[in-house]
Chain A
Amino acid sequence: MKYVLLIHEDHANYKDEDGWNEIIRRHEAFGEAHASAIVGGEGLNGPETATTLHRKGEETMVHDGPFAEAREQLGGFYLVEVASLDEAMAIAKDIPFAGDGSVEIRPCIDEG
């Protein structure tokens, strides 16, 4: 089964460069440790760079900012392929964080 691991955290955790380099290093280590399961993934630029399109009926409105204003924002994701939710949860537990945060584990629709 494929899962997306959506990483939500406070972008302010990455303000200083040392902290940033440290977390990149830890993500690399995480990627190596779970290389057999990881299918893809990206880190995202900060929520201030986000553009959201709101669709209402036929109308589309452009909003400057992320989908929802919140302290914790989507900061990156991994796509993993594993046999069970247990395995997805075990991988998600290893995702490095600079501060507090959360990982939403979402199964992808099974195409059979």
Chain B
Amino acid sequence: MANSVDLAETVRAKRLHIVAALSARFANVELAENAFAEACVRAAATRSPPRDWAAWLYAVAQRIAIDSLRHSRVVRAHADAAASFDEEVSVSERSMIPDRRLALFFACCHPAIDIASRVALALSTICGFSAKHISRACLLSPAAVSQRLLRAKKKLTGSGIMFEIPDSRFFAERLESVLCTIEIAYSQAHASSDPDGEQALLARQTLELVDILATLMPGNAQVNALAAALWFSEARRPARRDAAGKMIPLEDQDPQLWDRPMLARARDYYGQVDTAQDASLRTLQADIQALWCSRRRQSDPAPWNRVLARYDRMIAIRDSAFIRLNRVVAIRKLQGAAAGLREFEELPCAALEGSPAYHAVGAELLSHTQRVREAIQAYDTAIGLQEGSAERAWLIAQRDALVLRAAR
């Protein structure tokens, strides 16, 4: 009985390690995952449990992979290659499992793989979530996710994506692709404030992903900044909607409701980020999150001044319509609606038109500058674009209050 517990624990704790080593060895994730799954089945049936389950699983999975390669058309023509595989198996059985986890991370998040597939691949191959799990979180059918995963794995195998940590020529661009994959997964998860729904599930999966990356790349400022920002953000989930299911804006949230252990985790990551030394969009974003999360209670003043300074620095690094939109909100809070509206009218409308936040910010500014009719229209546009139910409920409440005010 003790052994089946050991086995289950090893499978859970060492899956990524073993699958990564197999993937790198055969340059094939699909083969690695299938061989690992088959090795687990054989492990459960074996009558003589080994002393080291991980080494056993790795060795057996390697043999399974080689056998399956032998049967495939490609390697039958290269019996020599298969023979050389064989010799190596017996050696590695006694040695350690090579740590290729980070290499696998980089491979799964390669920029040549479609971004949506990258998200699915990272969640499935790195975290080990099932296609069914991922499909619920990404609002796709399980069949669509499986299809996407299959295609992505074929691309990984056939296109010359290396299962290696990229060298200095490509490192920055490849790391950016890894971080973007995690960011996009999390932004999907964060779009809805639902505390228990599928999006919350995806959020937890994504946090696991960023934790793994942070363990594998200790001391990397970009990774720590991203991890901090995501954990800060997720810590606020319990305070993001009221009892009626309506969104509560960040400024009005009760900090007492924020998740303490998550905040502590975020601060751990944030403590390793030095924004003065390494000012980038990500470290500044982590800074802003940390500023908001430093509030203890609702009566503490909102940190708009310092937040605005961060947005200004971000725009100096890279001018982006969305950062400018956030900056408008800070200006409105600090200098009033008229000043906010002046800045708002300077925004690049084409880039923001599809964003409900853009119309919601505009609506609020218009409603406080005697342009109520336009404000109501802008709220309607925002409501039409908004997907999350809590966010939509909040927008509807804002609009209805305005309609009532206009009628009086």
Contact = CB atoms under 8 A, between A and B. Distances in A.
Interface string B84-107: 000000000000000000000000
Question: In terms of DSSP, what is the predominant structure of the interface of chain A?
Answer: mixed
A84 to B, nearest CB: 5
Given A85-B110, A89-B112, A112-B78, A107 B160 contact: yes
B81 interface: yes
Contact of B161 (A3, A84, A90, A112): A84
Contact of A90 (B159, B160, B169): B169
Interface in A56-112: 82-86, 88-90, 105, 107, 112
A50 interface: no
A39 to B, nearest CB: 15
Contacts of B159: 85, 107
Contact of A107 (B77, B158, B162): B158
A86 B166 contact: yes
Nearest to A82: B160
Nearest to A3: B160
Interface string B153-190: 00000111110001001100010000000000000000
Contacts, number: 29
Nearest to B173: A86
Given A85-B110, A85-B159, A90 B170 contact: yes
A29 interface: no
Interface string A1-41: 10100000000000000000000000000000000000000
B160 A85 contact: yes
B81 A85 contact: no
Residue among B159, B160, B162 with the highest chain A CB neighbour number at 10 A: B160
Given A84-B162, A107-B158, A107-B159, A112 B77 contact: yes
Contacts of B160: 1, 3, 82, 84-85, 88, 107
A6 B166 CA distance: 25
23 contacts: A1-B160, A3-B160, A82-B160, A83-B162, A84-B160, A84-B161, A84-B162, A85-B110, A85-B112, A85-B159, A85-B160, A85-B162, A86-B162, A86-B169, A86-B170, A86-B174, A88-B160, A90-B169, A90-B170, A105-B112, A107-B158, A112-B78, A112-B81
9 residue pairs, one from A and one from B, having the closest CB atoms: A85-B160, A86-B170, A84-B162, A1-B160, A112-B78, A85-B161, A107-B160, A85-B159, A84-B160
Interface of A: 1, 3, 82-86, 88-90, 105, 107, 112
Given A85-B162, A90-B169, A90-B170, 18 more contacts: A1-B160, A83-B162, A85-B112, A85-B159, A85-B160, A85-B161, A86-B162, A86-B166, A86-B169, A86-B170, A86-B174, A89-B112, A105-B112, A107-B158, A107-B159, A112-B77, A112-B78, A112-B81
